[in-house]
Structure 1
Amino acid sequence: MLDWHSATEKHRSHLSAFSCTLPDHGYFDDEEGFVCHDYPWELEVQDYVRSHKPPVHPPEFLLVGYDDVGLAAVLKMRVNRLDGYALIQAVAVAQRASGQGLASEAIAQAERVMRKYNLNDFVVAARIDPRNHAAKSAFTSAAYSYDRTEDGFDVWNRLWRP
C-alpha cells in the first residue's frame, strides 16, 4: 500500500520527472510524418501529470502515492458540487510499479476525497482511451461501468454513495 498525500510544492520535481510509459517520450515516424508512441494514452497521461504545478485547491485534487522507491502513482480529479459530478482526470502508475494493482489503489483515493468532503450521491466519472485495457480493468474492479463514448474516449462512471 502506498503512502498518499495531497501534492504540494515539494512534490513538483517528482511530478515533472514522473514516468509511466516506456519509452518516456514519443518518436518521430518518418512514414507517418508525426510523433508516435506504442501506448499513446500512457504518454498523454504522463505529459498531463508532468505539467502540474501543485498545490491545487478544491474543487481540484492532486494526490500522490509513494512507495519505498519514490513516486509510484498519481490521481487527479475535479469535483463539481453544483452538478453532483466528479471527474477523475488522471490515474497514473509509474512504469517501474506497473502490474502491482496501484491503479486500483489510486482510484480508491477518489473515494477518500469524496468521504473527506462529505460528497454524497455524486456521479464519479473517468474518460478512458478505448485501447487502455488496464484502465478499464481497474475501473471495473472499482465498480465503475461503461456509460458512453464521448470525443473519442470511453466514459466510465459510478454513483458514489458512502
Structure 2
Amino acid sequence: MQDGNPLVDFRFVRKGDERGFPSFTCTVPVPSNREIGGRWVKGESLHPYPWELLVQRLIRHSALYLSSDNWIRLGVTDEGHVATYCAVARKSVDVFEVAIIAVSSSYQGRGLGRDALADAIRCARAQSARDGVQAQFVAYVDTRNERSARLFHDFGFEPVKRLDPDRRGNVFVVWALK
C-alpha cells in the first residue's frame, strides 16, 4: 500500500470500478416505511443521517463525476474492496471542490477519511502545479454533518458562507482551505 496507509491503495477510478458503486454502503440502512400519527412516512425521512443517504445515492450514480474536469479517487484494499471514495470537481483552473468524500461502513473509524482527503488534495495540487497555478479548495458540508465539518476543520478548512436551505430543507456551509 502507499502514502502511509497500510489498509488501502489510493488510485484514480478505473474502467469497471463503477460496477461496484451501486452496492457501496457508507451509512446505516434506511428504516422501513411506517405509520406515524395516522399517516404513512417514508423510511428515508426517518433516517438519522440524511446527508449520508444523499452521499450514498450520489456514489451509486457516479457517472456525473467522470469527465476531464472531474475525477474520482478510490481507496482500495488488497482484496479489491472499495474502502473510500472521493470525487473532486474542478470548478476553474485553480479551484477544486471536494464534492463527495465517503468511507465504506466496513472501514470507518480507521482514519481513512482523513487519508482520502489528503490524497485528493495532493492529486489536485499536482494537477494545478502542471498548469502553473496554485490550487484552492472548497467543500459544501451539510450543517448537521459534524464528522465532515470536523474533518475539514482539522485539515485547515474554514467555513466561509452559509447557504440558504435547498428545496429539501438541507442547509450547507461552504468551507475553504486557508
Out of 22, 46, 51, the position equivalent to 2:28 is 22
Percent of aligned pairs with the same amino acid: 23
**Alignment partner of 1:3 is 2:9:** yes
Q: Secondary structure at the match of 2:16?
A: helix
Find the partner of 1:33 among 14, 31, 41: 41
Q: Are the equivalent residues in 2 in contact too, given 1:87–1:125 (CA < 8 A)?
A: yes
User: What amino acid sits opposite 1:22 in the alignment?
Assistant: V
C-alpha separation in 1, matches of 2:63 and 2:174? 26
Select the structure that is richer in strand: 1
Q: Deviations over 1:47-93 (max 9, x none)?
A: 101111388232101111112451100000111334x3211110010
Instruction: Tell me, in whole angstroms, the C-alpha distance in 1 between the residues paired with 2:119 and 2:31.
Output: 30
* 1:131 alignment partner, SS class: coil
Aligned partners of 1:147 and 1:3: how far apart in 2?
32
Aligned pair in 2 of structure 1 residues 86, 71: CA closer, same or farther (>3 Å)? same
The question of whether the paired residues in 2 share the 8 Å contact of 1:125 and 1:156 is answered with yes
Shift of 1:126: 0.6
Structure 2 residue identity aligned to 1:74: Y
For 2:75, what is the secondary structure of its paired residue? strand
Q: Which runs of 5+ in 2 are unaligned?
A: 165-170
Query: Quick one: distance in 2 between partners of 1:139 and 1:54?
Result: 23
Instruction: Provide TM-score, normalisation by structure 1.
Output: 0.86
**Retained in 1: the 8 A contact 2:86–2:101?**
yes
Partner of 1:104: 114
| Higher relative contact order, structure no. (Cα contacts within 8 Å, ≥ 6 residues apart) | 1
Q: Structure 1 stretches (4+) deviating beyond 6 angstroms?
A: none
Q: Which has the larger radius of gyration?
A: 2
Task: Compare 103-112 and 117-126 and name the one that shifted more.
Answer: 117-126
Q: Distance in 2 between matches of 1:21 and 1:55?
A: 21
Deviates more, 1:55-64 or 1:67-76: 55-64
- The equivalences for 1:58-77 within 5 A come to 58-69=68-79, 70-77=81-88
Size of the aligned set, in residue pairs, is 157
Q: Give unmatched runs, 5+ long, in structure 1.
A: none
Kindly indicate whether residue 59 of structure 2 is the aligned counterpart of residue 49 of structure 1.
yes
Amino acid at match of 1:122: A
Structure 1 counterpart of 2:102, from 70, 92, 96 = 92
| One-letter amino acid matched to 1:150 | L
